[in-house]
Amino acid sequence: PLLLRSFSSISAPTLPSFDYEPKDYKGPLADEVFQKRKKFLGPSLFHYYQKPINIVEGKMQYLFDENGKRYLDAIAGIVTVSCGHCHPEVLNAIVEQSKILQHATTIYLHHAIADFAEALASKMPGNLKVVYFVNSGSEANELAMLMARLYSGNLGMISLRNSYHGGSSGTLGLTALNTWKYSIPEGEIHHAINPDPYRGVFGSDVNSYAQDVQDHIDFGTSGKVAGFIAETIQGAGGAVELAPGYLKLVYDIVRKAGGVCIADEVQTGFGRTGSHYWGFETQGVLPDIVTMAKGIGNGLPLGAVVTTPEIANVLAHKIQFNTFGGNPVCSAGGLAVLKVIDKEKRQAHCADVGSHLIERLKALQQKHDIIGNVRGRGLMVGIEFVTDKKEKTPAKAETAVLFEKMRELGVLVGKGGLHGSVFRIKPPMCFTKDDADFLVDALDYSILKL
Ligand code: PLP
């Protein structure tokens, strides 16, 4: 009884103060928006919250619903709002460019596209200097796969289990998470075992995981492959960071088999990992092709493929055309994002706030048996819930309840992982230590109230 009394007397944590008044919202309310969505937007299994939230405004790391309720956005529109909602400098760049020219297509010259390509290339190591603009991560990975196949002259692609590389028919083949898969022809795609230090069959033994890639090549292909693609921290898969040293081994294996190595930086790029600007740098490798989207435009529909002049040359004999790729407004926004990340030292900030968050979550893990694993890097963090710490039994139902409780307290997190038992914490990069503390307190409180 004593224990029970002390639980119930804990008061709910409140959001850190934030000096901003949302506008007085006069639009349709959640129920009406929901009915319209149901009627006109097509069915999908993607029901996130039991009662959908009608988001009407965003400011930096916060979102507001129709009643003016403020939420800490700890998932950033799925890792997309990099600088912050309506960040003033990004917003200004978008508005100013919109007044001058909104669309040009790549058949004309326009400085916004060229300036952005130059700035993006300057962020890339090695000979990764040729940029193709597209509109999304799926398109970026489609184009990367096309380049890999044309350049190598081979068909087979290798991706990792638990990966997400897109929802288009080609990239769905690369994606290896049942939640998104349909039974459609996928071409020659092989899914190797992902080196997951927490759940992986080989623990952190990267040699065994690398051998699995070699086995796929030896037993499932002619001995030649087009390429290999991986996220260094698997995003939709639940913030699973590949065991250190893995990519170096695999890149060697793939290159020996004639393939090119593609880094999917759709979630891990632009300093979010804190320690490095690009996720692949955390593994000390240099890819042949890098794909990016999401955070590149702070929410604008934008993606890019960056590769070497030699690989880019495979597209020189045909027209590689994308109507909206490199749209001037998106390019101006993307350029502003790069500047803001540098000016506001966001990479260092992600390292600092991220390690504070991870430290506090690890302390919370000591307190609650339901937290089976805390992992991640910078502001790309996963919390995996289990019903049995030793057996690592996924706590799927409990995760769903915690997810709703967090929302009530004003924290929006991502839910995911292979078993739906992971919270994904990937907020806008302006997320502060106070926000991190609030998030941890809200999780503590939610677990106590389970
Ligand atoms: N690659 C990764 C790692 C992703 O997380 C996603 C989207 O979640 C994609 C590719 C596909 O991007 P998009 O949804 O912009 O097509």
pLDDT in tens, 266-302: 999 999 999 999 999 999 999 999 999 999 999 999 9
pLDDT tens-digit series, residues 190-235:
999 999 999 999 999 999 999 999 999 999 999 999 999 999 999 9
Average pLDDT over residues 156-169: 97
Is the pLDDT score of 3 beyond 70? no
Among the residue ranges 15-19, 101-105, 236-240, the one predicted with the least confidence is 101-105
| Distance from Cα 166 to the centre of ligand 1, integer Å | 5
Q: How confident is the model at residue 5 (pLDDT cuts 50, 70, 90)?
A: very low
| Distance from Cα 366 to the centre of ligand 1, integer Å | 33
Contact 357, 440 (CB under 8 A): yes
At residue 268, the pLDDT reads 98
| Alpha carbon distance 230, 200 (integer Å) | 16
Q: Which uninterrupted H or E stretch holds 308?
A: none
Q: Ligand 1 pocket check: which of 266, 272, 322, 415 to mutate, most ligand atoms within 8 Å of Cβ?
A: 266
Q: How confident is the model at residue 95 (pLDDT cuts 50, 70, 90)?
A: very high
pLDDT tens-digit series, residues 96-113:
999 999 998 778 889 999
At residue 1, the pLDDT reads 41
Strand 380-388 and strand 393-394: pairing? antiparallel
| Alpha carbon distance 145, 138 (integer Å) | 11
User: What is the DSSP-derived secondary structure letter of residue 16?
Assistant: P
Q: To the nearest 5 percent, what fractions of the chain are helix, strand and coil? A: 40, 15, 40
| Distance from Cα 11 to the centre of ligand 1, integer Å | 38
In sequence order, what are the residues at sequence separation of 6 or more whose Cβ sits closer than 8 angstroms to the Cβ of residue 280? 232, 247, 263, 265, 268, 286, 287, 290
Average pLDDT over residues 392-400: 97
Question: Which residue, among 60, 415, 121, 125, has the nearest Cα to 279 in the 3D structure?
Answer: 125
Q: What are the Cα distances from residue 204, in Å, to 96, 197, 199? A: 49, 5, 10
| Distance from Cα 407 to the centre of ligand 1, integer Å | 24
At residue 185, the pLDDT reads 87
At residue 34, the pLDDT reads 87
| Alpha carbon distance 376, 301 (integer Å) | 26
Cα–Cα–Cα angle for 171, 174, 43, nearest 5°? Answer: 55
Is the pLDDT score of 8 beyond 60? no
Among the residue ranges 31-45, 150-164, 231-245, the one predicted with the least confidence is 31-45
Q: Is the pTM of this model over 0.90?
A: yes
At residue 105, the pLDDT reads 74
Query: Which residues lie with the beta carbon below 6 Å from any ligand 1 atom?
Result: 78, 136-138, 141, 164-166, 231, 235-236, 264, 266-267, 293
Contact 399, 421 (CB under 8 A): yes
Identity of residue 204:
S
Q: Ligand 1 pocket check: which of 159, 165, 265 to mutate, most ligand atoms within 8 Å of Cβ?
A: 165
| Distance from Cα 441 to the centre of ligand 1, integer Å | 30
Is the pLDDT score of 131 beyond 90? yes
Query: What is the three-state SS of 395-426?
Result: CHHHHHHHHHHHHHHCEECEEECCCCCEEEEC
Token pair listed for 266: 């759709």
Task: Outline where DSSP puts E strands in 99-256.
Answer: 130-134, 157-160, 189-192, 227-230, 233-234, 240-241
Ligand 1 atom having least distance to the Cα of 136: 15
At residue 46, the pLDDT reads 62
Q: What are the Cα distances from residue 116, in Å, to 87, 120, 277, 297? A: 18, 6, 17, 11
Contact 361, 439 (CB under 8 A): no
Is the pLDDT score of 2 beyond 50? no
Q: How confident is the model at residue 47 (pLDDT cuts 50, 70, 90)?
A: low
Is the pLDDT score of 169 beyond 80? yes
pLDDT tens-digit series, residues 170-191:
999 999 999 889 888 888 999 9
| Alpha carbon distance 252, 267 (integer Å) | 24
ipTM score assigned to the predicted complex: 0.99
Ligand 1 atom having least distance to the Cα of 303: 15
- pLDDT: which is higher, 141 or 6: 141
At residue 387, the pLDDT reads 98
Other C-beta atoms closer than 10 Å to the C-beta of 303 total: 28
State what percent of residues in the chain have pLDDT above 90. 88
